[in-house]
Structures are given as C-alpha cells and as structure tokens.
Structure 1
Amino acid sequence: MHASTLSAADLPQPRAEAREDLAPAAVGRPVVVIPCSAGKRPLPDGVDELPAAQLYTGPYFAKCRAAAQAIPGGWVVIVSAEYGLITPDTPIRPYEKRLDPRAVDHDKHRAQVAAMGRALLHAPEVIALAGKDYADAAAAVWPHLLRPLAGAGIGTQLQRLTRIAAARDPRAAALAYAAQAAGR
C-alpha cells in the first residue's frame, strides 16, 4: 500500500496503555450527519409512520449509521430529502424523493437544528458521513463540517465507513479521512 493511501485505521494498533494516537476529545459532543435512504421498510398494518432510523433500510444508510453510532458521544442527524434535518427517532412517513441540491431549504434546516438545541446548532465538531449533496446540505448549517468521504467513489466510501465503524477510535479514523480528503 502506498504511504499516501494510509489512514489511521490502516496503522498498527499500539498497546492499550499507549493512548497518544487517539484523537483529542471533542469540545462538546460531535454531531455526525448521515444521509437518508431510498430503501424504506414497509409499514405494518395500521401504522402511518416509523422513527427514521427504523424506516430507512438501504445498505448505504446502514453503513453510515453504523459508522456514526461508533463515534463516542456523537449526536446523529439525518439529512432527509423530504423532511430536512431530523434525528433518528423522528417519526416520518415513507416517501419517494431524492435530495435535489438546487431545492434545499437551508433556512428550514437551520431552524430545525436550532429547535434541536443550542448545543447542536453551535457544535464545534461536525462530521458528515455522507455523499457530496447531503454533506453540502448540512454545510449550510455547519460551514466547518468535516467530510471524511469527500472525493471518494462509492466503493471507497463504503470501505471508509466500514473502517470507521471498526476502528479502535472511530472519531480519529473519521478525522484522518477528512484530513486526507481535504488534502492536508
């Protein structure tokens, strides 16, 4: 493997007592943004809506969610093409819509995050585990958003998500990929 393609997840793991390789703690809890899913679970009879995390079933969503949940203390926020910025427990109805980057209502997104609380709105660390259009939608709320998947094809994105989820320090792995994607 070429040195420029190495990531934190590829490096040898130090002994448990050597903690200097771990990313410094985030100031406050990090926000982790993931995309919605085209695949949706059929609703049971008599049920009109499900929490977003239960409704979305796509494999890309599942990988993004697993990586997001692996980041310690992270608040997960979903960019929904229909509903805007929502939490995984937000009850929603099934819909058929893909995010159109030209039609994103950034004011609505800012208002939704503000309603979730000041800590989320002013989070100093925001990590987008999402493709470009979905990360761009979130960047209107959090311009300092980090993009571990930026510039990567779908296969590489899936590999990075798997490595983030499996890393000893998933946050450090995500930050390493974001730095690599930013060309640092």
Structure 2
Amino acid sequence: MTAHDHLDCFAPELVVIPCGSRKLGRPARAADLYIGSYHRACRSAAEALRPDRLLILSARHGLLDLDDVVEPYDTPHGAAEAVTAPVLVEQATARGIVFLDPVVALGGARHAALVRAVWPHARTPLAGAGGMGRQMARLAALREGREIDPA
C-alpha cells in the first residue's frame, strides 16, 4: 500500500497545512512567509497530493490562501490570541469551502483538531505518528508516494 493508496488514490479538494513558528522578518505572501522545515515538509507533501486548493492554517489569522500577504507574528496555536474553531467555521463558510470533500489535514494533533472542527470528515495521515521524526517520515512517504508506516 502506498501513501496515496492510504488516501484512496484521490486528489483532495482541499489540503490544509500548518503555519510555523519560523517566519521571514517582513510582510510576505503566505506561500513565502513560513520558512521552517516542518511547514516546508507539509507543503511539499500537500503539493504531491495535487489538491484543488491548498490553504495554510495560521495560528493568528486562520485560513490563508498562498497569495495572502501577512505580517510576521508570534502567536502559537492554543495561545489566548490564537484563532479558534468558531472563527475557522466562519472563514470557511464565508469562502464557500465548508462543504469541500475530500479534505486532508497535514499537521499535528492541535492542527488536525482545528481542521476537523470545520471538516469533521477530514483525513489526518499524521494522526498517531507521535513525535516530529515520525511525522516527517510520513510526510516524506506522502511526498514520494510510498507506504506510510503506521508505527
């Protein structure tokens, strides 16, 4: 079974990836702002899935298109000023994307929980992966079309 078989050999309508704590020091397109290795690995895996749409879930701003220009910020998910599930539902509804299916959430447990607040059916191929090393290995498998190690 390959990573793509694990996701039923489909091109998702939407993939949502996490932002990242490492950012450029100036305003930039969301596609360019986040420079950390985890964000880049999620982005690369997401692009390999060839979704119809790719969004970044920003801890401060919520759902961002790649071309949205954003100022650098320092807000981790879970902080008092971080985006909440009800705000994400409002954003998805306003964008007309709340009914998209299939949806894939690439990111850790907190990220996946926020995405599932909007899209309860979202697939989360990193769920149960544990630490960063295992998540990165699963992202590499997705990117390369290899089997995802369930361990």
Amino acid corresponding to residue 110 of structure 1 in structure 2: V
The structural deviation recorded for 1:115 is 2.5
User: How many Å separate the matches in 1 of 2:63 and 2:120?
Assistant: 15
Match of 1:133 among 87, 110, 117: 110
Look up the match of 1:146.
123
The structural deviation recorded for 1:161 is 0.6
Look up the match of 1:106.
85
1:123-143 CA-partner distances (Å, limit 9, x unpaired): 121111100001111111001
Going from structure 1 to structure 2, the CA distance change for 1:136 and 1:22 (only over 3 Å counts) comes to: closer
The structural deviation recorded for 1:104 is 4.3
Q: Which runs of 5+ in 2 are unaligned?
A: none
Contact conserved, 1:34 with 1:65, CA < 8 A, in 2? yes
Contact conserved, 1:50 with 1:92, CA < 8 A, in 2? yes
Look up the match of 1:50.
28
Identity in percent: 37
Look up the match of 1:94.
72
Say which SS state the counterpart of residue 54 (structure 1) adopts. Answer: helix
Amino acid corresponding to residue 21 of structure 2 in structure 1: A
Look up the match of 1:39.
22
Q: How many residue pairs align between the two structures?
A: 148
The structural deviation recorded for 1:30 is 2.1
Instruction: Indicate whether 1:115 and 2:94 are aligned.
Output: yes
1:81-135 CA-partner distances (Å, limit 9, x unpaired): 1101211211110001110078642221112112222xx2111211111000011
Say which SS state the counterpart of residue 115 (structure 1) adopts. Answer: helix
Q: Which runs of 5+ in 1 are unaligned?
A: 1-6, 10-19, 44-48, 168-172
Match of 2:143 among 165, 172, 183: 165
Going from structure 1 to structure 2, the CA distance change for 1:67 and 1:74 (only over 3 Å counts) comes to: farther
Bigger Cα Rg: 1
Contact conserved, 1:60 with 1:158, CA < 8 A, in 2? yes
Going from structure 1 to structure 2, the CA distance change for 1:101 and 1:123 (only over 3 Å counts) comes to: farther
